[in-house]
Amino acid sequence: MSHSVQRLRLVIRGAVQGVGFRPFVYRLATELGLRSWVLNSVQGVFIELEGEPPTLQRFVKRLYVEKPPRASIQSMEQSVLEPVGYTGFEIRHSEHTGEKTTLILPDLATCPDCVREIFDPTNRRYRYPFTNCTNCGPRYSIIEPLPYDHPNTTMKAFNMCARCREEYENPLDRRFHAQPNACPECGPHLELWNEQGGVLAQHDTALRRAAEAIREGHIVAIKGLGGFHLVADARNEQAVSTLRERKRREEKPFALMYPSLHLVRVHCRVNEAEERVLVSPESPIVLLRREQDDVAPSVAPNNLFLGVMLPYTPLHHLLMHELGFPIVATSGNQSDEPICTDEHEALQRLAGIADLFLVHNRPIARHVDDSVVRVLMGRELLLRRARGYAPLPVLVKEPLPPLLGVGAHLKNTVALSIGRQVFISQHIGDLETPQALQAFRRVITDVKALWEHQPQAVACDLHPDYLSTQTAYQMGYSVVPIQHHAAHVLSCMAENEVEPPVLGISWDGTGYGTDGTVWGGEFLLVTTASFERFAHLRPFRLPGGDRAVKEPRRSALGVLYELLGERALEVVGHLFTDSERRLLLHMLRQGIHSPVTTSAGRLFDAVASLVHGRQVVNDEGQAAMELEFLAHRVRSDEAYPFALLDGCPYVLDWSPTVQAILEDVRSGVEPAQIAVRFHNTLVEMMVAVARRAGLERVALSGGCFQNAYLTERAVRRLSEAGFRPCWHQRVPPNDGGIALGQVVGAGWFYTNASHESRG
């Protein structure tokens, strides 16, 4: 079979049954020479297609454009899988088996028909910021209990007028059973408030005055679909730096909203795949390579990329039409807190940040942040899974018992299994504050209530100090701890429908190991029964423990102490004060508050400290990101030496690599050249271990695989070496995917226990 053939799975939900959708799919697929099948199921329409990638993408484009007149696609999940060798295309019998789970659709971007209406002066919804139809608008953010019906949404306080009711009840109307259907006569409305909650303006005047305030350099908190945005003129350095100062967000990039795709193309490099994601119904933030710096320097300091989205609600379309320039549209919260959803709460929590509040009276049932995507090798890689994607499920091969996964401590999500479906919550965030912990517990309650399932057990991280782990043990269910890096690999395998045995490469910043040390540069052999630690990066100490996360200089000291002993201070001693040097040396000598780690993330930090002088960061991963940006600047296949030491497990010795880096630094080699050689070396380490393991299948997971250069090169080199790598697409490689892996791991635990009891 040709290696260029792919199998594309599409899971389509919406008005696609009983409208001639399957015969249409059959005609289109056979016309394009694609093979496989289509069927209706109780979960939606499932399509599998095998063919050349360009032909598969033509099918997807034509599916949207040429679908039957009464069909509407509300969501379409795409997954690229290994081909199985179908010889023709067939319409399979409808599948009625399995649990009839109620699928809750995510919130979807405003469709073109509704956009046309809000800008049509003759239409009754002209400039109405809550326009929607069956094909678009709020879903997950307004649902209270199931079933999804108007009285069970936050729209229940708004009684439809006669004209809206007529649309809602007409099967031929595109607003047939559109639960949030409303118009200016009967629906929600806008108000502009001052910092005390005093009403300054209403309806369209409120929107126009908010736009005027943004033009004048003010910061406006805007209540949107799943919560508040803090908005400022992205061209105005004073406004953006003021927002940074007030929000206490020192360097982490701000997301931008652009008025048009045309202007995005002026400022950024946009390929066809990135454009497709930008204008999709999910409408996430997309990371794009900067081309022209027409935004304020404080938007994304020291960053090659901008996080860009297009307007995705009528309110945003109207606002951006008024402004005509990009705005900062960052989450309405203080750092490390969940996003605000209620206007009265926002007055308290955003006091001192926002100058004005543009609010509305449609309640938000649950917070939903903007999703974040980067495109790798023509595919979506979700970095934050929220609006547009959550809570759609991942389909696993075998049914699972009802299991709840409570995720990790950072980038938290939770997951619930129902049969073959694992529903993953929206992004919750880092469990660093009481507000974040409260939001986490609220989402757990919400997930169980929405699907009316009580879990048989709760899966959690092995780390005893994670608040998610502690919560799991307080819930009164059986608890199944799953090792952090095993959960990463299982998440990647589940998403890609890959069966064991697999070599999992799980690289990140921190994860609690089965031996009580800090893992993070792991190679795991995954079998049907368990996982085995096959290899790892050479360990080193982290002086100060968690403080090293924010101080790459400490990681550099730990790496060099492992390599050079106390002579390490000859290299990096100048980065510390006299008292710090004495204290840190004592800690390393005695092994006090200096945990042993194999962390790939901290190794990245150490090299960043040595190569481009990044000694202190404000966000985990910042130093590694800057090292990646350097690697993008040059092209080279050069790599540094390393050693693979025999043992059980094998140890990847980076000491020859670090010694060569130190020599290059002393010799004045360009930092970008060192960065690309370091990245290439890490990939060659992966290939060396894969060859030693001898398994064809390799799964790449963990926060380090957010790095585009590392991931793309790893996939290419592993493929060239004869392996079949898989990586994440619609589930984040970072800790946002841990909950899925926990559920799958706990499912394996119960399956094996069942087999043993029968044996």
Question: 79 forms bridges with which residues in the sheet?
Answer: 9
Confidence of residue 529 (pLDDT cuts 50, 70, 90): confident
**Is the confidence at residue 753, as pLDDT, over 70?**
no
Cα–Cα distance, 45 to 173 (Å, whole number)? 22
Interacting residues of 551 by C-beta distance below 8 A, sequence separation 6+: 544, 615, 616, 617
Nearest 5°: phi and psi at 25?
Answer: -60, -40
Of the candidates 327, 307, 306, the residue with the CA atom closest to the CA atom of residue 315: 327
Which token pair is 697? 């299948």
Residue 525 has a pLDDT of 98
> 755: how many CB neighbours lie within 10 A of its CB?
11
Percent of the chain with pLDDT over 90: 79
**Is the confidence at residue 115, as pLDDT, over 60?**
yes
Residue 41 has a pLDDT of 67
Residue 15 has a pLDDT of 63
**Is the confidence at residue 315, as pLDDT, over 60?**
yes
Which token pair is 293? 């710096």
Confidence of residue 756 (pLDDT cuts 50, 70, 90): very low
Of the candidates 544, 557, 540, the residue with the CA atom closest to the CA atom of residue 594: 544
**Is the confidence at residue 97, as pLDDT, over 70?**
no
Residue 98 has a pLDDT of 46
Name residue, tokens 């990096």: 572
Mode of pairing for the β-strands spanning 285-290 and 372-376: parallel
- Highest-confidence segment of 19-23, 144-148, 604-608: 604-608
Report yes or no: 739 and 443 within 8 Å, Cβ to Cβ: no
Look up residue 439 and give its amino acid: A
Cα separations in angstroms, 124 against 361, 570, 651: 20, 74, 69
Of 335 and 99, more confident: 335
Which token pair is 618? 């404000």
**Is the confidence at residue 308, as pLDDT, over 80?**
yes
Coil, strand or helix: which one is 273? Answer: helix
The predicted-structure confidence for 372-425, as pLDDT tens digits, reads as follows 999 999 999 999 999 999 998 898 988 999 999 999 999 999 999 998 889 999
The predicted-structure confidence for 709-737, as pLDDT tens digits, reads as follows 999 999 999 999 999 999 999 999 999 99
Confidence of residue 94 (pLDDT cuts 50, 70, 90): low
Residue 1 has a pLDDT of 47
The predicted-structure confidence for 20-65, as pLDDT tens digits, reads as follows 677 788 889 999 999 999 887 655 688 999 999 999 999 999 998 8
Residue 755 has a pLDDT of 46
Report yes or no: 557 and 584 within 8 Å, Cβ to Cβ: yes
Report yes or no: 193 and 359 within 8 Å, Cβ to Cβ: yes
> 747: how many CB neighbours lie within 10 A of its CB?
24
Confidence of residue 3 (pLDDT cuts 50, 70, 90): low
Look up residue 302 and give its amino acid: N
Question: 143 forms bridges with which residues in the sheet?
Answer: 153
Q: How far is CA 468 from the centre of its chain?
A: 19
Q: What angle do CA 373, 745, 399 make, to 5 degrees?
A: 90
Of the candidates 318, 269, 270, the residue with the CA atom closest to the CA atom of residue 115: 318
Nearest 5°: phi and psi at 324?
Answer: 75, 10
User: Taking the CA of residue 595 as centre, how many other CA atoms within 13 Å lie in the half-sphere pointing to its CB?
Assistant: 19
Cα–Cα distance, 737 to 405 (Å, whole number)? 10
**Is the confidence at residue 353, as pLDDT, over 60?**
yes
Read out DSSP for 400-416?
Answer: E-SEEE---SSSB--EE
Residue 39 has a pLDDT of 84
Name residue, tokens 């049509």: 120
Percent of the chain with pLDDT over 70: 95
Residue 19 has a pLDDT of 53
Average of per-residue pLDDT values in the chain:
92
Name residue, tokens 């659709």: 105
Q: How does DSSP classify residue 88? A: S
Q: What angle do CA 85, 398, 699 make, to 5 degrees?
A: 65
**Is the confidence at residue 698, as pLDDT, over 50?**
yes
Helix spans in 229-368 (H): 237-247, 261-267, 272-278, 314-323, 343-349
**Is the confidence at residue 103, as pLDDT, over 70?**
no
The predicted-structure confidence for 533-589, as pLDDT tens digits, reads as follows 999 999 999 999 999 999 999 999 999 999 999 999 999 999 999 999 999 999 999
The predicted-structure confidence for 471-493, as pLDDT tens digits, reads as follows 999 999 999 999 999 999 999 99
Report yes or no: 593 and 587 within 8 Å, Cβ to Cβ: yes
Residue 602 has a pLDDT of 97
Q: Helix, strand, coil: what percent of the chain each, to 5?
A: 35, 25, 40
Q: Strand order of the sheet with strand 415-424?
A: 393-400, 415-424, 403-405, 457-461, 478-482
Of the candidates 392, 277, 276, 379, the residue with the CA atom closest to the CA atom of residue 11: 392
Of the candidates 413, 432, 327, the residue with the CA atom closest to the CA atom of residue 366: 413
Provide mean pLDDT across the span 687-711: 98
**Is the confidence at residue 77, as pLDDT, over 90?**
no
**Is the confidence at residue 757, as pLDDT, over 50?**
no
The predicted-structure confidence for 623-671, as pLDDT tens digits, reads as follows 999 999 999 999 999 999 999 999 999 999 999 999 999 999 999 999 9
**Is the confidence at residue 170, as pLDDT, over 90?**
no
Interacting residues of 199 by C-beta distance below 8 A, sequence separation 6+: 191, 192, 193
Which token pair is 636? 């080279």
Read out DSSP for 49-87?
Answer: EEE-HHHHHHHHHHHHHHS-TT-EEEEEEEEEE------
Residue 73 has a pLDDT of 79
> 342: how many CB neighbours lie within 10 A of its CB?
16
Report yes or no: 219 and 246 within 8 Å, Cβ to Cβ: yes
Integer-rounded Cα radius of gyration of the chain: 26
Nearest 5°: phi and psi at 503?
Answer: -90, 115
Report yes or no: 487 and 460 within 8 Å, Cβ to Cβ: no
